[in-house]
């Protein structure tokens, strides 16, 4: 996504232009998939520049205070910043069919409607009213413990994170890490190399894995390894709202 014409594409056009069959296959296989250069460097920088603007956020979390790791993050408030709202609205319809197939394979009854606003109405009706998209900020020594972003009964099983900083130039260390816990087996780790503007789409919690006798469930967790130097910002897009 380097030409001027591509840079001016809307988020919805970018989402639409992706090869969803391949993305789905990789997500099914590994529990995560990288989308290279989803945001432009300018869009990344604009998001980082707004980190200090407290009026667009509903809260700030110092991770160390909760045992979540070291670093901080801020949850956006409604109305969401335009680009954040667009990311949630534009990616959800492509991910909902994949999420429905996961639930079908796992024997989970929940199905996801085709539009994000319908799913959000379900969250709101259950009292999950608070927006979950966030920006995370890490500095040298900071890290994010392996976790799952669950915020209530209603969970959309796939989420997205976008690296806003430039590895090598802005920071070192700070790799995105996922672990996969299979029943009665040891965990497998996956380190996902990301560049500035790349998105990673990944499983929030459980996902189905094809076994010898049908599907079984594996539990996924994600986190970030310790930053060795510099500062690293990420935008997180979680599709369910929080209690």
Ligand X SMILES: O=C(O)CCC(=O)C(=O)O
Residue numbers of the site for ligand X (CB under 6 A)? Answer: 136, 144, 149, 161, 176, 222, 224, 234, 236
Residues 14 and 38: beta-carbon distance below 8 Å: yes
Please tell me the total number of residues recorded for the chain in this structure. 243
Please measure the distance between the N-terminal and C-terminal CA atoms of the chain and give it in whole angstroms: 37
CB-nearer residue toward Fe ion: 90 or 177: 177
**CA distance linking residue 194 with residue 225, whole number of Å:** 13
CB-nearer residue toward Fe ion: 11 or 237: 237
Segment near Fe ion (CB under 5 A); pick from 89-97, 141-149, 193-201, 225-233? 141-149
CB-nearer residue toward Fe ion: 149 or 198: 149
CB-nearer residue toward ligand X: 16 or 60: 60
Phi/psi region, residue 3 (left: phi>0; alpha: psi -120 to 50; beta: rest), is: beta
Q: Which of 142, 149, 198, 206 binds Fe ion (CB under 5 A)?
A: 149
Per-residue contact string for residues 91-130; x = within reach of Fe ion by CB under 5 A: ----------------------------------------
Is residue 72 close enough to count as binding Fe ion by CB under 5 A? Answer: no
Q: Least distance (Å) from ligand X to the CB of residue 59? A: 15
Q: Least distance (Å) from Fe ion to the CB of residue 199? A: 14
Residues 134 and 241: beta-carbon distance below 8 Å: no
Strand-pairing partners, residue 34, are 200
Which residue bears the tokens 């296959």? Answer: 25
Q: Which residue is nearest to ligand X (CB)?
A: 236
Strand pairing class (143-147; 57-62): unpaired
**CA distance linking residue 226 with residue 102, whole number of Å:** 32
Strand-pairing partners, residue 158, are 203
For 58, phi then psi, to 5°, come to -95, -25
Q: Least distance (Å) from Fe ion to the CB of residue 6? A: 29
Q: Least distance (Å) from ligand X to the CB of residue 173? A: 12
Q: Least distance (Å) from ligand X to the CB of residue 210? A: 26
Chain residues binding Fe ion by CB under 5 A are: 149
């Amino acid at each position: 996504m380097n030409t001027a014409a591509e840079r001016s594409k809307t988020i919805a056009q970018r989402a639409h232009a992706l090869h969803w069959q391949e993305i789905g296959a990789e997500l099914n296989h590994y529990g995560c998939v990288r989308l290279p250069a989803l945001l432009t460097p300018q869009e990344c920088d604009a998001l980082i520049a707004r980190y200090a603007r407290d009026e667009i956020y509903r809260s700030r979390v110092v991770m160390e205070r909760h045992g979540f790791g070291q670093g901080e993050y801020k949850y956006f408030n409604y109305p969401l910043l335009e680009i954040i709202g667009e990311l949630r609205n534009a990616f959800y319809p492509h991910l909902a069919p994949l999420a429905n197939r996961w639930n079908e394979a796992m024997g989970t009854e929940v199905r996801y409607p085709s539009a994000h606003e319908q799913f959000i109405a379900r969250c709101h009706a259950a009292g999950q009213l608070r927006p979950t998209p966030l920006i995370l900020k890490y500095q040298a020594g900071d890290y994010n413990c392996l976790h799952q972003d669950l915020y209530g009964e209603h969970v959309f099983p796939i989420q997205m994170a976008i690296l806003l900083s430039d590895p090598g130039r802005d920071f070192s260390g700070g790799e995105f890490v996922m672990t996969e816990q299979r029943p009665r087996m040891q965990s497998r780790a996956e380190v996902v190399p990301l560049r500035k503007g790349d998105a990673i789409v990944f499983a929030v919690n459980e996902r189905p894995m094809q076994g010898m006798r049908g599907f079984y469930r594996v539990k996924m967790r994600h986190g970030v390894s310790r930053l060795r130097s510099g500062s690293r910002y990420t935008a997180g897009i979680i599709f369910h709202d929080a209690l």
